[in-house]
Amino acid sequence: MNTPIYDFVKELNENNVSRFFMPGHKGRCFLGIEFEQLNKYDITEITGADALFVADGIIDESEKNATKLFGSRETIYSAGGSTLCIQTMLSLVKMKGKKIIAGRNAHMSFINSCILLGLQPIWVLPKVSDKYGVCGLITADQIEEKIKQNPDAVAVYITAPDYLGNVCDIKQISKVCDRYGVDLLCDNAHGAYLKFADDNKHPLDLGVTMCCDSAHKTLPVLTGGAYLHLSDKCKYAKSEVKNIMNMFGSTSPSYLILQSLDLCNWYLENRAKNEYKQIKTVVKQIKDRLKSKNIPYLENEIDFCKITIDANKIGYTGDKLKSILYKYGIECEYSNSEYVVLLISPFLQGPDYNNLFAFIDDIKVKKEIFKNKVTYTLPEVVLSPKEAFEKDFEIVNVEESQGRICAQTISLCPPGVPVIMCGEKINNNVKKILKNSGNIYIKVVK
């Protein structure tokens, strides 16, 4: 598979073109010797380089390569992460109405987009979840019930995998959405690699209308590189989608990111399937070693590149376990009071795994930590997120906030899942969670 974006910039450098164009560093070293080669490949939308949002040249050719690899109707590049893709998906469905049925395990990028666009999320709380009640599994029955209660809802929005690696039954949810004529949108930020696993469970192949992948999270792509996938169910033209993206995205998208997406196509065609097959073997070895020490982890059978260790069950908080991992030269993806999340990739090497195995062998398993769990309940919605965000506010002590309407969104970040958001009434349950997670003050509507 060719790499047209990268090849264009490579040829530009080989021809020693005088750069009377942006960026200001002119392709020369300015931040240190490490950036010397990088700067040469950092260009802007010059003649022949194409333009991301009106692509008809090398970017369009590269996107067609990605489309073929993912088997989508169209795959569109984003240099603004999945956030730009989410803003675009929601803007498209907003043309039909304002209500979006969404799993409460949605990321902050969804929340912020709802505020920006004036959308009203109709929340679905995961049936099986963590102690905060927000990471877990949304069922098809729950979605159908919400659609019946909200016949004017224009779309269903799910997050799969979530930050802990939970994946709901997308195929069954898609059947429900098809039955009621509702678009299904999926935040698949953590699952770009699923397309190239032996048992492909990518949302595109399970019935979604549109989904986004943060390519940079699991594939060899620079931070900010993402895909917006349109399935055959999607009725929006590519040009229409690009016009919407243009409203939110920078007019100077990073060509370094675009080249990494372009080069990733070669990797996906030539190496990905074999390397992710090998990674499954490595993950099994890690899990076997964890089992040998009686260290429990979540069974992420679909999102297998995510190892989520239940720290409480071996006598630690997740944050404490993170600090111990760091002493072994390991920086984890995420930790909270309960879990530690490790992301595995074909680009980790022997010494990396040796560090992890040394940690597993050395860690002392202690008595389980039992905590008083606060059962999460959805707060009452009083105002739309946009209405609450735009109203005058005051800052009060969390202890005195019960019964007030929240004027901000507070999330556990990462993963950025909302405990309370703009327009919701703070109840005693939410107040306890906010206090337990270290929040002292909160904005409320005056």
Q: Tell me if residue 261 falls in helix, strand or coil.
A: helix
Whether 124 and 103 have beta carbons less than 8 Å apart is answered as: yes
> For residue 136, what pLDDT is reported?
73
In a domain, 134, yes or no: no
Mean pLDDT of the region 221-238:
96
| Listed residue (81, 339, 329) closest to 227, CA to CA | 81
CA atoms within 13 A on the CB side of 277: 7
> For residue 388, what pLDDT is reported?
94
Percentage above 90 pLDDT, the chain: 78
Q: Do 418 and 352 share a structural domain?
A: no
In a domain, 308, yes or no: yes
**d(C-alpha 266, C-alpha 1), whole Å:** 6
β-pair type (120-124, 99-103): parallel
Is the pLDDT at 412 greater than 60? The verdict is yes
Is the pLDDT at 271 greater than 90? The verdict is yes
Question: 111-115, 131-135, 206-210, 442-446: lowest mean pLDDT where?
Answer: 131-135
**d(C-alpha 26, C-alpha 32), whole Å:** 15
Cα torsion for 79, 52, 155, 197, to the nearest 10°? -60
User: Cβ-count burial of 299 within 10 angstroms (0-12 exposed, 13-18 middle, 19+ buried)?
Assistant: exposed
Question: 98-107, 304-313, 315-324, 428-437: lowest mean pLDDT where?
Answer: 428-437
pLDDT tens digit sequence for 13-49: 999 888 888 888 888 877 677 787 888 999 998 999 9
Q: Is the dihedral of CA 67, 305, 123, 81 positive or negative?
A: negative
Whether 78 and 228 have beta carbons less than 8 Å apart is answered as: yes
Q: Do 408 and 352 share a structural domain?
A: no
Contacts of 405 (CB under 8 A, 6+ apart): 382, 383, 388, 423, 424, 425, 426, 444, 445
In a domain, 56, yes or no: no
Is the pLDDT at 413 greater than 70? The verdict is no
Q: Do 294 and 338 share a structural domain?
A: yes
| Listed residue (277, 227, 289) closest to 257, CA to CA | 227
In a domain, 14, yes or no: no
Is the pLDDT at 415 greater than 60? The verdict is no
Is the pLDDT at 83 greater than 80? The verdict is yes
> For residue 130, what pLDDT is reported?
58
**d(C-alpha 185, C-alpha 224), whole Å:** 20
In a domain, 391, yes or no: yes
**d(C-alpha 440, C-alpha 10), whole Å:** 53
Q: Do 309 and 354 share a structural domain?
A: yes
* Residue with the two structure tokens 């996906």: 268
Q: Tell me if residue 31 falls in helix, strand or coil.
A: coil
Query: In the structure encoding, which two tokens stand for residue 184, read together?
Result: 């299904």
Buried b (16+ CB within 10 A) or exposed e, 164-200: bbbbbebebbbebbeeeebbbbbbbbbbbbbbbbeee
pTM: 0.93
Confidence grade of residue 282 (pLDDT, cut at 50, 70, 90): very high
Mean pLDDT of the region 317-327:
95
Query: In the structure encoding, which two tokens stand for residue 56, read together?
Result: 């008809």
Percentage above 70 pLDDT, the chain: 96
Query: In the structure encoding, which two tokens stand for residue 431, read together?
Result: 């107040």
> For residue 164, what pLDDT is reported?
86
Type of residue found at 279: I
In a domain, 157, yes or no: no
Omega before 385 within 30 of 0, i.e. cis? no
> For residue 183, what pLDDT is reported?
97
> For residue 129, what pLDDT is reported?
58
Q: Do 337 and 296 share a structural domain?
A: yes
Query: In the structure encoding, which two tokens stand for residue 45, read together?
Result: 């939308």
DSSP string, 158-216: EESS-TT-----HHHHHHHHHHHT-EEEEE-TT-GGGGGSTT---GGGGT-SEEEE-HH
Q: Do 336 and 393 share a structural domain?
A: no
> For residue 434, what pLDDT is reported?
86
Tell which of 305, 331, 362 closes a domain: 362
Q: Do 407 and 337 share a structural domain?
A: no
Q: What is the mean pLDDT of the chain?
A: 92
> For residue 363, what pLDDT is reported?
96
Q: Do 337 and 289 share a structural domain?
A: yes
In a domain, 408, yes or no: yes
Q: Do 426 and 393 share a structural domain?
A: yes
Q: Do 316 and 352 share a structural domain?
A: yes
Confidence grade of residue 374 (pLDDT, cut at 50, 70, 90): low
**d(C-alpha 216, C-alpha 226), whole Å:** 7
**Residue with the larger pLDDT of the pair 134 and 187:** 187
Domain that holds residue 423: 385-445
**d(C-alpha 13, C-alpha 29), whole Å:** 14
Mean pLDDT of the region 214-227:
96
Tell which of 306, 331, 362 closes a domain: 362
**d(C-alpha 407, C-alpha 388), whole Å:** 5
Is the pLDDT at 105 greater than 60? The verdict is yes
CATH of the domain at 294: 3.90.1150.150
**d(C-alpha 163, C-alpha 355), whole Å:** 23
CA distances, 231 to each of 70, 84, 89, 203, 423 (Å): 10, 18, 12, 10, 34
> For residue 435, what pLDDT is reported?
83
> For residue 232, what pLDDT is reported?
96
Mean pLDDT of the region 109-132:
85
What DSSP state is assigned to residue 23?
S
In a domain, 173, yes or no: no
Q: Do 405 and 341 share a structural domain?
A: no
Question: 78-87, 156-165, 333-342, 413-422: lowest mean pLDDT where?
Answer: 413-422
Confidence grade of residue 429 (pLDDT, cut at 50, 70, 90): confident
pLDDT tens digit sequence for 130-181: 555 556 789 999 999 999 999 999 999 999 998 888 899 999 999 999 999 9
Q: How many domains does the chain have?
A: 2
Confidence grade of residue 337 (pLDDT, cut at 50, 70, 90): confident
CATH of the domain at 389: 3.90.100.10
